[in-house]
């Protein structure tokens, strides 16, 4: 899906931090993620890779970038909707063929850097925190079996058969949730290979789209018991964004007829690259090409960071989908190193439902 | 057209224009250079503070060294902890601090690295610092908890932080010192610029009067002259400012090293800053305004120089009282400023008094005295400027020389030994102690154990450096103490402590006082047996016998100091091999006396390099200005000197008279600079130094250097005299203009 722009911006910032220089990396193909891979490179994903579980829950050090990304539409005991997000990114800084093994932690190796985002959206307010860590010393990492993804004290871990626990906290918010991931795994694109540009670059991408979630969320000192459904994306790649591609619009929607829709748009205007996945109520999975998905912004919302298309019309005519997706009142900027919009949404139109929307590239510089 | 006419003066006197521009440029360069350097240093200190603002060091309660795993464990518990890996300096490279920009993000509550200027030396990625540490350089990992309100996990405590030992604002005082020197430079150069400009203005009076006669209003003329001044200032400002940046850049290496060595503050290069330029612009505008005041009042100051004996005496007295009672550096500077102002006001008055000729003096002497009186009036401003500049140079020289002498003696005592061997981690002293005792090649030896302790201050605690050694060692007992109880080494051997001068001054300690000393396991009340000089260390330090160290004391560093019976025939090498073998290690870190002397001397050379450079550059500037004004004034009076031929003097004799005149004038300034220099020396060593560096020096004066300076002045006199007399042989010169009964 989507986080690439965000991630690339982070990489840009990261490279600035680590190099200590002020030159913008944008002109250099987003910190190395140019079309032409460097001579010593990370592995490139392809349809033949396939998705192997449970291994692919773990890290992919042969690939440059990857993430675990959970969004959830929950309700409090009082029935108020509450959205939350937890994301963890890994960025490989040293290609495996150059790494020369894993140095001991005492050398503070910087072969990979990690970033985590946590957010809670409730009653028109939005809380967000961001954390960073270097890989190779144990401060952050991931393992497939039993599943564990952590950065500092933020952690997603398997606590039993088909049960996970997610804990994270930041300024003014915290959550402690029990997740029941379910068995259904959606492989996007071609056997999990999701194309991200006309030139064919892409990523390996699968999702859990119906995670049962219960637990507690605390905001501004008040603790709420919550329950609802989450959507977890797992994605890894080494490069797939063209340096001229700007802006990402991504939607993960659960419709009330049992249908599930993931759709994204890379870039703006007529040149935008569109793709998606339709999961029918009967469980059949259909990869959607650009001409099968129509995504049109309907209204813009003036916010502190710029104008945001807070309402969209999304059509998938082949599957009878013609819906309006709308963010609730409020501002849902994740004000981190690179601000982006991450909000829960409601769905009306041919179907009703809810889900999450991520928009990048709208923040005023 | 009018402007061209106004400027025609400089067509006739291009050198004057060049000199005025040069002085403006050089003066701007000097003060903007000093301002940039101190500004950089202040920003650096603030950045250093900001990096750890609100941070507290965390350490395991069992005293074990901090590891990467500890860092990870604390982070995994949700504590915002940041690592700080400090690698000791070597000959080739200074101190290095390894940081993890990613980890620091939690402390900033913002993007990592945002708002921090941690790029460039000594800040490197912690992986780079770890690599240096692995290559054999001594290193220490510390962890800082950035949220003081978070409860500590079991097994951890907040020890006093050695890197944040109270240094009594020393670094800031050091910079304040430089600022004061910078202000002195501004004052001296403002005096010079004004004197050069007003001199030029006086020369132009004729042509200006002529322009008025042609119908140009005085108001318009003044506007033209002001515009000319502003343009000139502008022309001097930009190259001067850029030159100042280059100057700061050139001096920043040594200055940065001094800051690092003295106060563990790293100089961050901040480059050009708008504020820096604006400050320079403001200073130039003020100076120009001062020069332009005369224009606004209607022309250059008329008549004889005005003397203010009452004001001068008041300045001197108030300044002296302030200096004697001052408790803060700012008051010391204020007192010094008043003393200098008083000296500046009084000097022309005294010179005129001194020059009042005796009616019985020979005619030529009488003439010379009168002429000197005229010159003193004409050149009052540059004369005072040179007097202050020379006084500063004398004082800075005395300070540096006194320090060098004192420091060399002190270093000789401190480094009484031939070999300094670092004790490897986890190795006990016991296996080598018997070896050293029995080896005939060893004359004396003692261990040095360094770490940190706390002292009770009021109801709280303060971190201090701790040095423990064997105080029975003959090498240690050679130390001379500033103050002590009777038989201090015996007292220290019985469990008392010595404190360094910095700590004694800061805490008001005297021999015989009781001090609460903490070693992480409760406090002991220990008697102070004496005070020792400890140059260059900003922090307080206590020295004790190692037999009284708690058993569980965890040192930061241990070494052996060994004096050999005979340095020849490779006894040192053999001993080091024997020590390595006793400790069962392959390599030992060994430094010889020469290396340490070289390192220490480098540190202190760097400490005063900037002060010395600024004072000499100011002297050069003042000297240049005096050369130029002297030359112009003497040439303007060539007509009078030519009249000496009426007394039967030959051209050669007349030249000699002019030379003598110039020499006497210079000697007067030199003599006037001596009391200023001596007073400033006293202020520096007795008043400013203890506040700025934490230690005092004995007062000493260096008459030999005064004579050297006199030689320099004599050279300037000969040059001025020669310049003034060439080209006038046989020519009558220009008769001075008479205006309003005053010769111009």
DSSP string of A221-275, one letter each residue: TEEEEEEEEEEEEEEEES----TT---EEEEEEEETTS-EEEEEEESSGGG-EEE
Query: What value does the mean pLDDT take over residues B118-137?
Result: 74
Instruction: Report CB contact under 8 Å: A107, B78.
Output: no
Instruction: Report the residue from A14, A134, A152 with minimal CB separation from B78.
Output: A152
Which range has the worst mean pLDDT, A248-257, B389-398, B563-572, B662-671? Answer: B563-572
What pLDDT score was predicted for residue A349?
94
- Separation between Cα atoms, residue B32 and residue B231, nearest integer Å: 19
Q: Which CATH superfamily is domain A45-242 in?
A: AttH-like domain (2.40.370.10)
For the segment B330-343, the average pLDDT, to the nearest whole number, is: 86
A244-365 has the same fold as A45-242: yes
d(CA A8, CA A25) in angstroms, rounded, equals 10
Judge: B118–A20 Cβ closer than 8 Å, yes or no.
yes
Residues in chain A: 365
CA B58, CA B440: separation in Å to the nearest integer?
Answer: 46
Phi, psi angles (nearest 5°) of residue A306: 130, 180
Cβ of A152 within 8 Å of Cβ of B69? The answer is no
- A-chain CB neighbours of B117 within 8 Å are none
Tell if the CB–CB gap between B71 and A169 is shorter than 8 Å.
Answer: no
Adjacent-strand bridge partners of B499? B531, B542
Stretch among B264-268, B445-449, B559-563, B655-659 having the lowest mean pLDDT: B264-268
Angle among Cα A320, A322, A326 to the nearest 5 degrees reads 145
Closest of A309, A363, A310 to residue A333, by C-alpha: A363
Of A21, A109, A113, the CB nearest to B102: A113
A170 forms beta bridges with A173
- CA dist A156 and A57 (Å) reads 12
Q: Is B274 helix (H, G, I), strand (E, B) or coil?
A: helix
Nearest to A152 among B76, B100, B131 (CB): B76
- A83 in B contact zone (CB under 8 Å): no
The beta-carbon neighbor of A131 closest among B100, B106, B113 is B106
Q: What is the pLDDT of residues A295-352, one digit of tens each?
A: 999 999 999 888 999 999 999 999 999 999 999 999 999 988 878 999 999 999 999 9
pLDDT in tens, B271-298: 556 666 777 777 777 777 777 776 666 5
CA atoms within 13 A on the CB side of B545: 20
Q: State mean pLDDT over B155-172.
A: 57
Segment B96-114, tens digit of pLDDT: 778 888 888 887 654 434 3
pLDDT of B75 higher than 80: yes
A150 has a chain B CB within 8 A of its CB: yes
| DSSP structure class, residue B167 | -
For testing contact with chain B, the best of A9, A11, A17 (most B CBs within 10 A):
A17
Residues of B in contact with A132 (CB under 8 A): 102-103, 105, 112
B125 with A13: Cβ contact below 8 A: no
Instruction: Check residue A201 and report its DSSP letter.
Output: -
CA-nearest residue to B107 within chain A is: A131
Is B692:B176 a contact under the CB 8 Å cutoff? yes
Beta strands B738-739 and B541-545, pairing class: unpaired
* Highest mean pLDDT (candidates B9-18, B298-307, B503-512): B503-512
A23 in reach of chain B (CB within 8 A): no
Candidate from B69, B77, B113 with C-beta closest to A105: B69
CA distance A325 to A344: 10
| Domain residue spans of chain A | 1-36, 45-242, 244-365
Secondary structure of residue A2 in the 3-state scheme? coil
Which H or E run includes B465?
strand B460-469
CA Rg value for chain A: 19
Comparison of pLDDT for A276 and B239, the residue scoring more: A276
Decide if B471 contacts B561 (C-beta within 8 A): no
Taking the Cβ of residue A250 and every Cβ of chain B, the question of whether any pair is shorter than 8 Å is answered with no
Q: Which residues contact B427 (CB under 8 A, 6 or more apart)?
A: B583, B585
Count of Cβ atoms closer than 10 Å to residue B218 Cβ: 13
Instruction: Compare CB distances from A20 to B98, B120, B129 and report the shortest one's residue.
Output: B120
pLDDT at A67: 94
- Do B85 and A106 make contact, defined as CB atoms within 8 angstroms? no
Segment B43-65 shows an average pLDDT of 66
pLDDT at B46: 60
Dist CA B139 CA A179 (whole Å): 45
Cα distance between residue A147 and residue A163, in whole Å: 10
- Helix, coil or strand: residue B563: strand
- Pick from B102, B125, B127 the residue to mutate for testing the A interface (most A CBs within 10 Å): B102
Query: Which of A61 and B388 is assigned the larger pLDDT?
Result: A61
Q: What is the DSSP string of A21-81?
A: ----GGGGHHHH-SSSPPSS-PPPP-GGG---TTGGGS--TTSSEEEEEEEEEEEETT--E
Within 8 A of A23 by CB-CB distance, chain B residues are: none
Residue A110 to chain B, least CA–CA distance (Å): 7
Whether pLDDT at A139 is above 90: yes
Q: Scanning every residue of chain B, which has its alpha carbon at the shortest distance from the alpha carbon of A16? A: B113
| Minimum mean pLDDT range among B161-170, B387-396, B621-630 | B161-170
Is A244-365 assigned to CATH 1.10.260.40?
A: no
Minimal Cβ distance to A17: which of B76, B83, B113 = B113
Asked whether the predicted pLDDT for residue A168 surpasses 70, the reply is: yes
Smallest CA–CA distance from B80 into chain A, residue: A152
Residue of A nearest to B106 (CA): A131
Smallest Cα distance from B80 to chain A, Å: 9
Give chain A positions within 8 Å (CB) of B101.
17-18
Q: How far is A208 from chain B (nearest CA, A)?
A: 27
CA pair distance B60, B153, nearest whole angstrom: 10
Whether cis (ω within 30° of 0) applies to the bond prior to B418 is no
Model confidence pLDDT, tens digit, residues B467-509: 999 888 888 888 888 889 988 999 999 999 999 888 888 888 8
Across chain A, how many H-helices and E-strands are there?
3, 23
Strands B460-469 and B541-545: parallel
A/B interface, count of CB pairs below 8 Å: 80
Q: Is A28 exposed, middle or buried (0-12, 13-18, 19+ CB in 10 A)?
A: middle
DSSP codes of every residue in B320-339: HHHHHH--SHHHHHHHHHHH
Inter-residue contact B60 to B73 (CB < 8 Å): no
**Residue A286: its pLDDT value, please?**
95
Which chain B residue has the Cα nearest residue A104?
B68
B393 contacts B625 by C-beta, under 8 angstroms: no
């Amino acid at each position: 899906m989507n986080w690439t722009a965000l991630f690339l911006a982070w990489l840009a910032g990261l490279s600035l931090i680590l190099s200590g220089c002020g030159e913008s990396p944008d002109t250099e193909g987003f910190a190395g993620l140019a079309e032409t891979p460097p001579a010593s490179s990370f592995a490139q994903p392809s349809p033949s890779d396939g998705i192997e579980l449970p291994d692919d829950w773990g890290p992919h050090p042969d690939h440059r970038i990857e993430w675990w990304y959970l969004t959830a539409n929950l309700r409090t005991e009082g029935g108020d909707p509450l959205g939350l997000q937890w994301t963890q990114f890994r960025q490989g800084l040293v290609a495996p063929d150059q790494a020369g093994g894993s140095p001991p932690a005492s050398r503070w190796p910087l072969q990979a850097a990690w970033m985590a985002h946590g957010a809670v959206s409730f009653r028109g307010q939005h809380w967000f925190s961001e954390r960073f860590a270097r890989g190779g010393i144990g401060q952050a990492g991931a393992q497939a079996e039993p599943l564990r993804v952590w950065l500092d004290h933020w952690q997603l871990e398997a606590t039993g058969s088909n049960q996970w626990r997610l804990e994270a906290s930041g300024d003014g918010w915290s959550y402690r949730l029990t997740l029941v991931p379910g068995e259904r795994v959606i492989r996007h694109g071609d056997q999990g290979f999701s194309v991200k540009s006309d030139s064919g670059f892409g990523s390996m991408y699968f999702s859990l789209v119906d995670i049962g979630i219960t637990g507690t969320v605390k905001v501004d000192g008040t603790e709420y018991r919550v329950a609802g459904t989450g959507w977890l994306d797992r994605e890894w790649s080494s490069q797939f964004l063209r340096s001229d591609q700007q802006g990402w619009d991504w939607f993960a929607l659960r419709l009330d007829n049992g249908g599930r829709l993931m759709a994204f748009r890379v870039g703006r205007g007529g040149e935008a690259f569109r793709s998606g996945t339709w999961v029918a109520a009967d469980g059949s999975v259909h990869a959607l090409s650009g001409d099968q998905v129509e995504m049109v912004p309907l209204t813009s919302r003036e916010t502190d960071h710029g104008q945001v298309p807070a309402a969209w019309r999304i059509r998938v005519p082949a599957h009878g989908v013609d819906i309006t997706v709308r963010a609730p009142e409020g501002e849902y900027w994740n004000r981190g190193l690179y601000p982006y919009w991450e909000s829960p949404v409601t769905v009306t139109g041919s179907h009703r439902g809810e889900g999450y929307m991520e928009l990048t590239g709208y923040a005023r510089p | 057209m009018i402007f061209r006419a106004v400027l025609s003066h400089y067509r006739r006197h291009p050198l004057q224009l060049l000199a005025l521009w040069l002085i403006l440029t050089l003066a701007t360069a000097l003060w903007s250079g000093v301002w940039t350097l101190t500004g950089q240093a202040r920003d650096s200190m603030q950045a250093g503070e900001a990096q750890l603002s609100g941070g507290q060091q965390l350490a395991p309660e069992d005293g074990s060294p901090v590891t990467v795993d500890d860092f990870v464990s604390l982070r995994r518990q949700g504590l915002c902890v940041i690592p700080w890996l400090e690698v000791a300096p070597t000959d080739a490279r200074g101190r290095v601090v390894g940081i993890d920009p990613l980890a620091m993000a939690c402390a900033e509550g913002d993007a990592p690295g945002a708002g921090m200027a941690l790029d460039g030396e000594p800040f490197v990625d912690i992986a780079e610092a770890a690599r240096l540490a692995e290559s054999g350089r001594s290193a220490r990992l510390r962890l800082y908890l950035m949220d003081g309100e978070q409860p500590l996990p079991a097994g951890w405590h907040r020890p006093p932080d050695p890197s944040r030992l109270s240094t009594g604002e020393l670094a800031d005082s050091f910079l304040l010192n430089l600022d004061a020197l910078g202000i002195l430079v501004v004052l001296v150069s403002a005096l010079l610029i004004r004197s050069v400009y007003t001199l030029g203005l006086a020369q132009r009076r004729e042509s200006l009067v002529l322009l008025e006669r042609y119908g140009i209003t005085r108001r318009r003329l003044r506007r033209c002259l002001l515009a000319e001044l502003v343009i000139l200032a502008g022309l001097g400002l930009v190259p001067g400012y850029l030159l100042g940046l280059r100057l700061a850049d050139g001096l920043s290496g040594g200055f940065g090293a001094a800051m690092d060595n003295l106060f563990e503050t790293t100089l961050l290069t901040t480059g050009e800053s708008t504020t820096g330029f604006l400050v320079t612009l403001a200073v130039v505008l003020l100076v120009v305004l001062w020069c332009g005041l005369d224009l606004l009042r209607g022309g250059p100051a008329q008549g004889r120089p005005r003397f203010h004996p009452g004001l001068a005496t008041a300045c001197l007295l108030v300044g002296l009282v302030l200096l004697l009672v001052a408790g803060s550096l700012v008051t010391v500077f204020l007192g010094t400023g008043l003393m200098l102002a008083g000296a500046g006001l009084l000097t022309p008055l005294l010179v005129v008094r001194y020059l009042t000729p005796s009616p019985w003096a020979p005619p030529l002497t009488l003439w010379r005295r009168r002429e000197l009186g005229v010159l003193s009036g004409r050149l009052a401003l540059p004369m005072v400027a040179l007097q202050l500049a020379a006084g500063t140079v004398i004082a800075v020289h005395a300070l540096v020389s006194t320090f060098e002498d004192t420091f060399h003696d002190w270093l000789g005592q401190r480094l009484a030994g031939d070999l300094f061997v670092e004790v490897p981690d986890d190795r006990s002293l016991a296996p080598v102690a018997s070896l050293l005792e029995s080896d005939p090649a060893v004359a004396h030896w003692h261990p040095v154990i360094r770490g940190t302790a706390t002292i009770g201050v009021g109801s709280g605690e303060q971190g201090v450096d701790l040095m423990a050694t064997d105080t029975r060692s003959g090498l240690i007992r050679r130390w001379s103490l500033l103050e002590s109880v009777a038989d201090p080494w015996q007292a220290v051997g019985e469990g008392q402590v010595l404190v360094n001068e910095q700590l004694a001054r800061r805490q008001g300690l005297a021999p015989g006082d009781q001090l609460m000393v903490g070693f992480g396991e409760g406090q002991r009340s220990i008697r102070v047996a004496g005070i020792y000089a400890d140059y260059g260390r900003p922090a307080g330090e206590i020295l004790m016998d190692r037999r009284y160290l708690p058993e569980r004391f965890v040192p930061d560093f241990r070494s052996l100091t060994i004096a050999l019976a005979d340095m020849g025939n490779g006894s040192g090498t053999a001993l080091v091999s024997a020590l390595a073998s006793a400790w069962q290690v392959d390599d030992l870190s060994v430094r010889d006396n020469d290396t340490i002397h070289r390192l220490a001397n480098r540190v202190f050379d760097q400490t005063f390099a900037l002060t010395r450079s600024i004072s000499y550059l100011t002297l050069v500037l003042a000297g240049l200005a005096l050369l130029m004004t002297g030359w112009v004034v003497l040439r303007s009076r060539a007509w009078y000197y030519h009249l000496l031929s009426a007394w039967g003097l030959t051209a050669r004799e007349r030249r000699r008279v002019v030379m003598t005149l110039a020499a006497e004038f210079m000697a007067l300034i030199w003599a006037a600079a001596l009391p200023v220099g001596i007073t400033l020396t006293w202020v520096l060593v007795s008043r400013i130094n203890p506040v700025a560096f934490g230690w005092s020096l004995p007062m000493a004066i260096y008459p030999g250097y005064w004579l050297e300076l006199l030689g320099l002045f004599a050279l300037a006199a000969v040059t001025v005299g020669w310049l003034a007399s060439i080209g006038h042989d046989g020519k009558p010169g220009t008769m001075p203009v008479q205006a309003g009964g005053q010769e111009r």
